[in-house]
Amino acid sequence: MRTLIAVLLIGAASAEVVAPSRPAVKSHRVAPSTTVDVIEAINAKLERQQQLIERQAAQISDLERVTPKEFEIVHYNVLADQSSSNLQPWFCYGANVTGAERAELTRRFYSGDKRGYKDKPNKGWPAWAIGVLSDERRRKLEEYDRDFFAWERRRERLWQEVREHSVGCRRRSPDVVTLAECDHYDDFWASKLQSDGYDSVWRARPRQSARDGSAVAWRTSTWELAASGGFDFGRSLNSKHDRTCLFVLLRWRRDPSARLLIATTHLARNPDDVEQQMARGFQYGTIFRELLAFAAANGAVDVPVVLTGDLNAKDCDELAGIARALVRLTSAPTHPLLWSVMDAPTPVTTVTEERALRIDYVMYQSTAMQLRGVGNLPQLSTPIPDATHPSDHLPVSARLLIRPSWAQVEDDARQWLACVAGTRSVRPISPTNLRHAFTYFDKDGSGLVSLVQLEAALQTLGFPGLDSTQVRQALIDAGCTTSAGERAIAAARREADDKGGGGGPLAPVGAFLSGLGRGGQQSHPHQWLSKRDVEERTQWAMDLDQFIQVYSNSVQRSSSAMARQLDMAFAAFDTHGEGVLSLPEFREALHRMASAPLDDARVDAVLSELDDGDGTISLTSFSRWMMRTYTSFLEDPSLVHDTAEDAFPDHVYNQ
């Protein structure tokens, strides 16, 4: 091949060249010996180039191997063209509409039926505005609609918002894009994304009159598609479906063993509506149930998850609290993401003339990912869309790092210590992760954590102020007056005494401990240590059951987001705002928000346990029962099946 290239090059060089403005120049044939020399020189140069390419490929491979798996993701509600009209009462920008006028416009808009004028041509304009707004003010609304709501005016600006979004100081195209209210997918978004190096999938919203849906796009230089799917849902388990959720499983090109699961959705509207909040509670919990099913079907239960969407919720912690409470109340299966979901903090993401809210989120599995940056958002003081912002939502974004497996175990161990110390807010640890955290301390895989191992972990994990004495006291506070190691030593000594002395069962402890513990005069190089100190340091050890017991006891008194979320969940169930729940009220809430059919016998048993004795449930009894259920769940994971048994490998930290 190289010889052929060389011959062609020589042929091209020796061809007769005719310049239009000059006389033709006769070509000179290259002598055979000269031709051979040229071919050899070209071959040598090609060989050097090939070697250089191979070296560079090896260097790139080395860099890719050690480069952290970091990526940027942006979520954007692009305001569907079908819904993009200023001639709707919740918009009506440009005419200084007062609150009273807006209320009357809204009443008129919905006076016909449940959907009002939404599906009517031109939203029924101006029938419902005549008599409230003058001709001149209606004309101003129409001008604003043409200038800032029309799809033809917005579409290119929407695309620029996606492809040049900034996270921190870097302005670049994101690695993953998720879109809500995405219509014009086939005739606009798909081609735009493809032209900029993305592959994408789209899932239609199931409502018959809707033309929008959810989309996920990924940069093909970084990711490849492993699987996709999703599900449709309504306001409750048996209601008509009108919303959708899209799942996409991606594989990292430079390391196919690394995968990422993306879920994106759009929940029930109107963040201030209590009835809609009940619907969102059901919808949010259902996402985790369906996410588990999709992940299990694709062998991806242990794959890190990012959940994005327009949740229409002023506080995603409230939704998390409701979902976690429902899991404990119903023993329903759920994805592990539920126990460690965190959101990338942002300012408000949508502003109208009536309100400013944060309802768009990028949430991630904090056990498996680390937040490294959040997209820059402007502080809005005027409603959108406008001349600068082409949607009624701002794009939200984050830079995330996929943690290696050892870092995930290390973070769980750090959460355990933080909970025991009681000095900082902690996230709840799932039963599986709690058992993995134990392996961090149990370096030798013996099934026991010695005092030396515990103190080494305190230093490594950044808890120099937490003395091992506090952990030992926490074990006593949890009802374990004697550690597992001390119990084992005592049992061995009793057995040795029964046999008339000697090593026997004490052999693993060593001759020194045997002699010292039995009144012998054996010397030790550390003479400044008292006999009690030496015995304590060599005998104290904590097993897995005690490790879980310490956490279970500590988490009930630690200051954490868990208590706040339980308060918010209770408030969501308390639809009448009375501060207590009647048993019928609570039963109805469970049926409305449960993501799976309820077992009536299970519900009856739960209500009887929650009952304060007068047919009501107080916040105190609700929170106490929830914490007791959570700690029981930690000690016996079979009480709530949140994953398949073989989904997480049975590994220890130091492997």
pLDDT higher than threshold 60 for residue 435? yes
Could you tell me which of 435, 366, 440, 408 has the C-alpha nearest to residue 645? 435
Looking at residue 425, what is its pLDDT? 60
- Tens-place pLDDT, residues 502-532: 544 444 444 433 333 333 344 444 444 444 4
Residue 384 phi, psi (nearest 5): -125, 155
- Tens-place pLDDT, residues 89-136: 999 999 999 999 999 999 888 886 666 676 677 778 999 999 999 999
Cβ–Cβ < 8 Å for 231, 225:
no
How would residue 559 be classed by pLDDT, with cut points 50, 70 and 90? low
What is the domain partition of the chain in residue ranges?
2-17+26-65, 99-147, 181-384+394-403
d(C-alpha 509, C-alpha 515), whole Å = 10
The dihedral over CA atoms of 482, 483, 485, 487, expressed in degrees to the nearest 10, equals 30
Mean pLDDT of 603-631: 88
Mean pLDDT of 270-292: 90
pLDDT higher than threshold 90 for residue 420? no
pLDDT higher than threshold 70 for residue 501? no
Mean pLDDT of 360-373: 94
Alpha carbon separation from 369 to 218, 258, 300, 494 (Å, rounded): 18, 12, 15, 49
Mean pLDDT of 440-465: 87
Q: Which CATH architecture has domain 181-384+394-403?
A: 4-Layer Sandwich (3.60)
Mean pLDDT of 601-622: 89
Looking at residue 275, what is its pLDDT? 81
Looking at residue 209, what is its pLDDT? 86
Looking at residue 554, what is its pLDDT? 84
DSSP string, 334-385: --THHHHEEE---S--EE-SS-EE--EEEEEETTTEEEEEEB------S-SS
Structure tokens at 332: 């329903």
The dihedral over CA atoms of 151, 155, 161, 164, expressed in degrees to the nearest 10, equals -170
Alpha carbon separation from 647 to 78, 290, 402, 413 (Å, rounded): 37, 16, 18, 20
Helix (H, G, I), strand (E, B) or coil at 32: helix
How would residue 33 be classed by pLDDT, with cut points 50, 70 and 90? low
pLDDT higher than threshold 70 for residue 563? yes
pLDDT higher than threshold 80 for residue 36? yes
Looking at residue 517, what is its pLDDT? 36
pTM reported for the whole predicted model:
0.80
How would residue 594 be classed by pLDDT, with cut points 50, 70 and 90? confident
- Tens-place pLDDT, residues 62-83: 666 667 889 999 999 999 999 9
DSSP string, 492-544: HHHHHHHTTSSSGGGGGG-HHHHHHHTT-----S-TTS-HHHHHHHHH-EEEH
Looking at residue 300, what is its pLDDT? 96
pLDDT higher than threshold 70 for residue 15? no
Cβ–Cβ < 8 Å for 265, 214:
yes
pLDDT higher than threshold 90 for residue 164? no
Mean pLDDT of 180-201: 97
Mean pLDDT of 596-616: 88
How would residue 140 be classed by pLDDT, with cut points 50, 70 and 90? very high
How would residue 654 be classed by pLDDT, with cut points 50, 70 and 90? very low
d(C-alpha 324, C-alpha 400), whole Å = 24
| Identity of the residue numbered 141 | L
- Looking from the CA of 215 toward its CB, the CA atoms found within 13 Å total 27
Looking at residue 169, what is its pLDDT? 55
Helices 468-477 and 544-555 pack at an angle, to 10 degrees, of 80
Mean pLDDT of 278-295: 94
Looking at residue 245, what is its pLDDT? 97
DSSP string, 43-62: HHHHHHHHHHHHHHHHHHHH
Helix (H, G, I), strand (E, B) or coil at 250: strand
Q: Which of the residue ranges 278-287, 419-428, 601-610 would you say has the lowest mean pLDDT?
A: 419-428
Looking at residue 536, what is its pLDDT? 54
Looking at per-residue pLDDT, the higher value among 509 and 251 belongs to 251
Looking at per-residue pLDDT, the higher value among 491 and 434 belongs to 434
Question: Could you give the percent of the chain with pLDDT greater than 90?
Answer: 42
How would residue 547 be classed by pLDDT, with cut points 50, 70 and 90? very high
